[in-house]
Amino acid sequence: MIVIATLVVALAAVLHVLIFVLESVFWTRPGVWRRFAVPDQASADITKPMAYNQGFYNLFLAIGALVGVIAYGVGQHAIGLTLVFFTMTCMVLAAVVLVTTGARYIRAAIIQGILPLAGIVLIFLSDPITT
């Protein structure tokens, strides 16, 4: 079960790297800002600094999750689980916050939060340290 949990955590990290790329690298491309419900190019240009910053938050969470997976994999279970739990919890809470910004963000929040939530549940079900 820990293998599946690790895979889900890694997928959550990859998703957040993708979000980083969209927000911090490609934000002003029409296909990207439309995906984030930005109404027009001018608004995308104005919000570019905010998106750039937000993207890096996603990247840092992804890095933390991957470092946690690696630490767990090399036998540093407590360190690895701590990092994974912290980063996955932050991802889930960010999804909850996203829902509070409006009903139109529910789908995005589910996409952003389902893998980290599943990762947390699977880790608690599979690792003897957490039980």
Written in H, E and C, the secondary structure of 52-75 is HHHHHHHHHHHHHHHHHHHHHHCC
Rounded Cα distance between 61 and 83, Å, is 9
Distances, alpha carbon 74 to alpha carbons 13, 84, 125, in Å: 18, 14, 20
Q: What is the pLDDT along the chain (131 residues), one digit of tens a residue?
A: 889 999 999 999 999 999 999 999 999 999 999 999 899 999 999 999 999 999 999 999 999 999 999 999 999 999 999 999 999 999 999 999 999 999 989 999 999 999 999 999 999 898 666 55
The two tokens of residue 11 are: 């997928």
Residue 53 CB contacts under 8 Å (≥ 6 apart), including other chains: none
